[in-house]
Amino acid sequence: MKAVERTLSVLEALGRPRPLADIAERTGLPKPTVHRILQVLVARGFARDAEDGVYAAGPRVLTVAGEALAELDLAGLARPTLTALQRSVGGTVHLALRNGDEAVYVEKIESGEPYRMASRIGLPLRLHSTAIGKAILAFLPEQELVDVLARIPLERQTPSTFVTEETLRAELARVRSRGYAIDDEENEEGVRCVAAPLVDHQGRVAGGVSASALVYVRTLAEARRIAPEVVRAAAELSAQLGARAA
CATH of the domain at 98: 3.30.450.40
Is residue 246 included in any domain, yes or no? no
Residue 156 sits in the same domain as residue 223: yes
CB within 8 A of 134, min separation 6: which ones?
A: 127, 128, 171, 172, 175, 181, 183, 195
pLDDT digits (tens, 9 = 90+) for 128-159: 999 999 999 999 999 999 999 999 999 999 99
DSSP state of 245: P
25 and 95 in a single domain? The answer is no
- Determine the pLDDT at residue 69: 52
- Give residue 203's pLDDT: 87
Same domain, yes or no: 128 and 197:
yes
Residues 61, 94, single domain; the answer is no
In a domain, 92, yes or no: yes
Report if residue 195 sits inside a domain.
yes
Are 93 and 129 in the same domain? yes
CA distance 95 to 44: 37
Contact 12, 28 (CB under 8 A): no
Residue 245 in domain: no
DSSP characters for 183-216? EESSSSTTEEEEEEEEE-TTS-EEEEEEEEEETT
Same domain, 41 and 121: no
How many distinct structural domains can be found in the chain? 2
In a shared domain, residues 62 and 144: no
pLDDT in tens, 205-232: 999 999 999 999 899 999 999 999 999 9
Per the structure, the complete domain to which residue 122 belongs is given by 72-240
Q: Which residues of the chain have a pLDDT value below 50?
A: 71
Cα torsion for 110, 114, 115, 117, to the nearest 10°? 10
- What letter does residue 129 receive in the DSSP assignment? T
Predicted local distance difference test score (pLDDT) of residue 139: 96
d(CA 50, CA 28): 22
* CA dist., res. 17 & res. 188, Å (int): 47
Mark whether 78 and 135 lie in a shared domain: yes
- Answer whether residue 138 is part of any domain: yes
